[in-house]
Chains A and B, each alone.
Chain A
Amino acid sequence: MTALVRVEHLVKRYPVRQRGILGERTVGHINAVDDVSFSIDPGETLALVGESGCGKTTTARSMLHLVPATSGKVWFENDELLTVFRGGDRAAVLRARRGLQYMFQDPYLSLNPRWTIGQTVREPFRVHRHVPEPEWDNRIAALLERVGLEPAHAFRYPHEFSGGQRQRVGVARALAVEPRFLVLDEPVSSLDVSVRAQILNLLVELRAELGLTFLYISHDLASVRFIAHRVAVMYLGVIVEMAPTDALFRHPLHHYTRALLSAVPVPDPDAKPIRVALRGEPPSAMHVPSGCRFHTRCPAALPVCRTTPPELTQAGDGRAVACHNPC
């Protein structure tokens, strides 16, 4: 099966500037995304997990050119997206925008507060015109119903809805162009606990019904276990481990993954997980440690870890890990 989406050697570098008297100087660089590659098969859900600063959100944003990548390629079906987005061919850009969509984390900021939600869901139709205009109202009503809202809600404004409902509108908007691939950027992190399950269920339902492929970004490992088929763990801009969900959770190979998993508190007072404590704080992105970036905090670091960065190597059963001394 050929992959639907393939990311090759994606890099996103940010210059760090300091204001002097005569203007700004560049004092260093942060490689938010430092050579990341992965692929996603049609119908699959790949989760990108990691803590703040690991580059998961930047990776996703770069894929859709919401943030211009420094270098690298992103393949969608047979097109290289970054070339398309940078080029001037509007028709090609629109075609690309129909294939991939993005769902945002913050239900309060992701909808234009001065537009009714009907207007928000109508916008994709207006831009793409992939459906004749008389049909739009029907489609909008159908979309709203599909995500669990009522067609009459189209006349109301975002501030009249709860966070969960606004996220549903976000889903409707993303689905309006009939995409094949959806980036879900922490879609439930800002929602109340009792509402998260509703949205997660909705996403799973839609995935089955419409044959969607997801890139699910989250720091909430429990929801990742629920929704993802495969997981990629990121640390300081690189992928340190990739594996099918079950395998990753049951038997992590990378020490960071192990520490991450053991740190998640389980809703069971009798559970006494074996904690892998990490030393110290995550290093500053401006001064990435030499060799393996994780070696300063790793409980199993070897001398070679300080000098040579490990490559992401296959480890059988669809797994890959970047470690000189895996678990």
Chain B
Amino acid sequence: MLIAFIVLVALIGPFLAPYAPNDQSAMIEFASRGGPTWAHPFGTDRNGYDVLTRVIYGAPTALAVGLGAMLVASLTGILIGGVAGYLGGIADEILMRLTDLFLVIPVFVMILAVVRLFGIVVVGTWLERVPFLNLATIVLLLGFFGWPPIARLSRAEFLRLKGLDFVEAARCIGAQPSDILLRHILPNAMPSLAVVIALGIGGAILAESMISFLGFGDPKAVSWGQLLFFNYQVLKVAPWAVLAPGTAIFITVLGFNLLADGLSDAFNPRLKQ
């Protein structure tokens, strides 16, 4: 339910926001760092932006990050894990060692390093003009390093499912392996995978917030982590500027975790029955 709310905000927010996010009119009015007023329900932040607007605009960013990262992670993870589980043998060994390798890499540090490096490399090239490049990079990297847990689970599920009678029955009917994988095994693996993916979305959002908060984020993108980054220094004077995005992150991540819980509960009793 919480997710529905967040999604709703993300979708219709941009139409409801009282101001354009980059509108610095408040600054002109010397009203920056002002407390919550009727004109600015969440107050204004250090740069004169309306906090509410920016928080609202942060929502689609957060979702993009979460879903985008998990999309990359899922596709990679399911592919690698699934193939490993279904084929077994040498393929399995190789793919699992690859997974282990990726698990060992310190993801966070890597991402910071790559983003910084990328930022330096890109200056002066045509890439600089690609909108939201930095954010996209972060999303891709989060996905790129986030697939191992999904691969592990996929492998376990595919391994378990391929031995079940109904899969043998499909083979007996004459179905081809690609058929079996896509139509029999994958749909039955989805319940468990969905849970892990939901958790992953929350995790990705959190990770992006942390990256932005440390200053490695995309300055042109409106994200809650960015808001924290910008307004951290005025914490004492304008706490609302930090409180609002912080709460937003909390609610969103909590929402996805609850979703994962809910999914996990929903799939279990039916299977038991």
| A residues in contact (CB < 8 Å) with B | 64, 66, 93-94, 97-98, 101-102, 104-106, 109-114, 120, 123-124, 127-128, 159, 170, 173, 177
Contact = CB atoms under 8 A, between A and B. Distances in A.
Nearest to A120: B166
B165 A159 contact: no
Interface hub of B168, B169, B171, B179 (most chain A Cβ within 10 A): B169
B172 A123 contact: no
Interface of B (DSSP majority class): helix
Interface string B160-174: 000011101111111
Interface of B: 164-166, 168-175, 179, 184, 187-188, 270-271, 273
Contact of B174 (A104, A109, A127): A127
7 contacts: A104-B169, A106-B165, A110-B169, A112-B166, A124-B174, A127-B175, A170-B169
Given A159-B270, A159-B273, A111 B166 contact: yes
Contacts, number: 56
A97 B174 contact: yes
Contacts of B273: 159
A104 B9 CA distance: 51
Contact of B165 (A98, A104, A114): A104
Contacts of B169: 102, 104, 110-111, 170, 173
A112 B166 CA distance: 6
Contact of A64 (B172, B179, B184): B172
A123 B175 contact: yes
A81 B177 CA distance: 19
A66 B270 contact: no
Given A114-B187, A159-B273, A66 B172 contact: yes
Contact of B166 (A64, A94, A109, A124): A109
A98 B187 CA distance: 26
Given A123-B175, A128-B173, 10 more contacts: A66-B171, A101-B173, A106-B165, A109-B165, A112-B187, A123-B173, A127-B173, A128-B174, A159-B270, A159-B273
Contacts of A177: 173
Residue of A66, A101, A109, A128 with highest tally of chain B CB at under 10 A:
A109
A112 B184 contact: yes
A101 B172 contact: yes
A98 B30 CA distance: 83
Contacts of A109: 164-166
Which of the listed residues A101, A102, A110, A112 has the most CB atoms from chain B within 10 Å of its own CB? A112
Nearest to A113: B188
A125 to B, nearest CB: 10
Contacts of B170: 112, 123
A131 to B, nearest CB: 14
Contacts of A105: 165
Contacts of A112: 166, 170, 184, 187-188
Contacts of B187: 112, 114
Nearest to A110: B165
A232 B273 CA distance: 38
